[in-house]
Structure 1
Amino acid sequence: MQGQAFFAEYLREQRAAQEQTAEREWIAQTLAGDQDAYAQLIERYSGAVYTHAYYRLGNAHDAEDAVQEVFYRAYTRLHTFDQSRRFRAWLLTIASNYCTDVQRGWNALKRQAQQWVNLDDVDYWLTNTDDTPERVVQQHERDAVVRHALQRLPDKYREVLTLFYWNDLSYQEIIAITGLPESTVKTHLRRGRLQLKKLLEGMELS
């Protein structure tokens, strides 16, 4: 288990380094007036912004609006971007703030929790990315179930889970986005996984 965790962290760091190299080039080109370079950033990260907004706001329409607004805000503030950070993390900070603005006018809905599987299975479905045809079909089905369950989590847990699992962000990057202490981030992640486990109990994940 420790070996798997070490390898997963190694892959996360490698992906982050590769992302940052490409980001810096596109950002420099955008600041120099190259609109095509910003289009590259949009193409690469619009999915991450959409996913984050979808899980925060709960529907496709608001998530699509979020993508447009977040990339507009990012473009107008690009000159302030600290290139020691990952662009993905900075962009998701903007997305998180936007979603918070949207949610201020919403009434919180209380959801009933049910029960389910073990945490190792939750982690497996969140992180396994095999791409065989059978696996792809199964993954689409699982994704729909997990999305439904995530919408029933409290916002504070849903946000941390999506940032950690779907956006590959480190604890420090999540701390920067949410403004939470590291201990709180870890607590939300642990409790979010536990609640997700309960919500997925009885749902079919093959």
Structure 2
Amino acid sequence: MSAGTRLKELGVSGLGEVDESTFSGMAQRHRRELHVHCYRMLGSFEDAEDTVQETFLRAWRRRETFEGRSTFRAWLYRIATNACLDLLARCRPEPATGGEVRWLQPYPDRLLDELRAGGADEPETVAVARETIELAYLVAVQHLAPRPRAVLILRDVLGWPAKDVAELLGDSVNSVNSALQRARAGMREHLPAERQDWTGEEMDAGTRDLVRRFTDASVATDIDRLAAMLRDDVRCSMPPTPGLDVGRDAVVNSWIEDGFDQMTGLHAVPTSVNRQPAVAFYHWRERENAYLPLTIDVLRVTGGAITEITIFHDDQFPRLGLPERLPADGTEQFHRPGTR
């Protein structure tokens, strides 16, 4: 139901006549897609959550400015984009550099699925395509300056006309087109070369088998087996911890230096985030008589080899719907979020 239809049913001519409860109900229908939009802009789940809240607050305060020239949804996107740009100017005046994004956080697939549930005829079904939500895309986007970043997402992800983007940013259409060219060039510089070979959302049998073998070798802390699954130019990072290891030797040496090959008592739970396969690892704690959260490894697989590993800390487990502990026998008496 459009905002215009909703207003007619309420017998009012504009948002200025709508009470707070009704306005909130209209806005909340778009919460998930706005959150994903802000997440693309910011790379941080938590910052996106704060920005959506700010968006709804600004929208309520400025409700009388909605004139119906665009859809209510587009009006919210305008406010959300500007809220993101304000946050970036305040907290991250410089884009990411060096291929790593320390503020990067994962996005649970179970929450992305809410967009599908909202209806297949909405533009957000295009916006949540795998290539624009995978971590490699998010990392590349974070290397763009804020305004070209906004132009890229609005034009190439949401499909907005250049005229509408220019109006939102207070620029000319020529300026927007120029910014889009720069942003696309920047993305080509930072995206994996084989991006065109990515295969969509569903994992094929080969990828599932590779993830299973990676999981088994990790639990056994078998460095040699793990190394055999890595491509020569594999990349590994662990935001927010500084550092990016590039190349099989660098990644393996880092694991050995950290003592990974000496670890025991690991247990693994498969999951998925950002439309990518992931494995949540738990570590046995004798004092707790349970397995407790350790890390979440998110994998990018290309051509039958692991090309990127992004490791997140245990503080991300609750957001992903993963349990806080597993019993001594390691059984998994819970729903595995996002498992396909």
Using structure 2 for the length normalisation, give the TM-score.
0.42
Match of 1:39 among 25, 46, 52: 25
1:168 CA displacement: 2.8
Match of 2:145 among 141, 154, 164: 154
Secondary structure of residue in 2 paired with 1:105: helix
Partner of 2:37: 52
Is the Cα–Cα contact under 8 Å of residues 166 and 176 in structure 2 kept in the other structure?
yes
Is the Cα–Cα contact under 8 Å of residues 27 and 38 in structure 1 kept in the other structure?
no
Is the Cα–Cα contact under 8 Å of residues 89 and 177 in structure 1 kept in the other structure?
no
Partner of 1:87: 72
Matched, 1:74 2:65: no
Please give the alpha-carbon distance, in whole angstroms, between the structure 1 residues aligned to 2:148 and 2:95: 15
Is the Cα–Cα contact under 8 Å of residues 155 and 165 in structure 2 kept in the other structure?
yes
Partner of 2:133: 143
Supply the AA of the counterpart residue of 2:25: A
Match of 1:164 among 150, 155, 158: 155
1:41 CA displacement: 3.2
User: Do the aligned partners of residues 90 and 37 (structure 1) sit closer, same or farther apart at CA in structure 2, a change above 3 Å counting?
Assistant: closer
Is the Cα–Cα contact under 8 Å of residues 42 and 48 in structure 2 kept in the other structure?
yes
Using structure 1 for the length normalisation, give the TM-score.
0.66
User: Do the aligned partners of residues 162 and 109 (structure 1) sit closer, same or farther apart at CA in structure 2, a change above 3 Å counting?
Assistant: closer
User: Do the aligned partners of residues 112 and 41 (structure 1) sit closer, same or farther apart at CA in structure 2, a change above 3 Å counting?
Assistant: same
Please give the alpha-carbon distance, in whole angstroms, between the structure 1 residues aligned to 2:132 and 2:83: 28
Supply the AA of the counterpart residue of 1:108: E
Partner of 2:254: none
- Larger RCO of the pair (alpha carbons < 8 Å, separation 6+): 1
Is the Cα–Cα contact under 8 Å of residues 89 and 173 in structure 1 kept in the other structure?
no
Please give the alpha-carbon distance, in whole angstroms, between the structure 1 residues aligned to 2:80 and 2:18: 24
Please give the alpha-carbon distance, in whole angstroms, between the structure 1 residues aligned to 2:194 and 2:144: 16
Partner of 2:169: 178
1:143 CA displacement: 2.7
Is the Cα–Cα contact under 8 Å of residues 150 and 158 in structure 1 kept in the other structure?
yes
Please give the alpha-carbon distance, in whole angstroms, between the structure 2 residues aligned to 1:173 and 1:185: 10
Secondary structure of residue in 2 paired with 1:104: helix
Partner of 1:24: 4
Please give the alpha-carbon distance, in whole angstroms, between the structure 2 residues aligned to 1:167 and 1:149: 17
Please give the alpha-carbon distance, in whole angstroms, between the structure 1 residues aligned to 2:5 and 2:137: 36
1:182 CA displacement: 0.3
User: Do the aligned partners of residues 102 and 27 (structure 1) sit closer, same or farther apart at CA in structure 2, a change above 3 Å counting?
Assistant: farther
Supply the AA of the counterpart residue of 2:182: R
- Say which structure is richer in helix: 1
User: Do the aligned partners of residues 186 and 141 (structure 1) sit closer, same or farther apart at CA in structure 2, a change above 3 Å counting?
Assistant: closer
Please give the alpha-carbon distance, in whole angstroms, between the structure 2 residues aligned to 1:182 and 1:22: 28
User: For structure 1, which runs of at least 5 residues remain unmatched after alignment?
Assistant: 1-20, 114-128, 132-138
Is the Cα–Cα contact under 8 Å of residues 48 and 167 in structure 1 kept in the other structure?
no
1:22 CA displacement: 0.8
Identity of aligned residues (%): 25
**C-alpha distance after superposition, 1:142-199 (max 9, x if no partner):** 6312222212222222111111133232212111111111001111112212221221
Is the Cα–Cα contact under 8 Å of residues 171 and 182 in structure 1 kept in the other structure?
yes
User: For structure 2, which runs of at least 5 residues remain unmatched after alignment?
Assistant: 100-115, 121-128, 200-340
1:109 CA displacement: 3.9
Please give the alpha-carbon distance, in whole angstroms, between the structure 2 residues aligned to 1:99 and 1:194: 22
**C-alpha distance after superposition, 1:93-151 (max 9, x if no partner):** 222322233223324145247xxxxxxxxxxxxxxx9x9xxxxxxx5476312222212
Task: Report the RMSD for the aligned CA atoms in angstroms.
Answer: 2.8
Q: State the structure with more CA Rg.
A: 2
Supply the AA of the counterpart residue of 2:3: E
Secondary structure of residue in 1 paired with 2:4: helix
Secondary structure of residue in 1 paired with 2:70: coil
Please give the alpha-carbon distance, in whole angstroms, between the structure 2 residues aligned to 1:97 and 1:79: 18
Match of 1:189 among 174, 180, 197: 180
Is the Cα–Cα contact under 8 Å of residues 24 and 83 in structure 1 kept in the other structure?
yes
Please give the alpha-carbon distance, in whole angstroms, between the structure 2 residues aligned to 1:27 and 1:192: 39
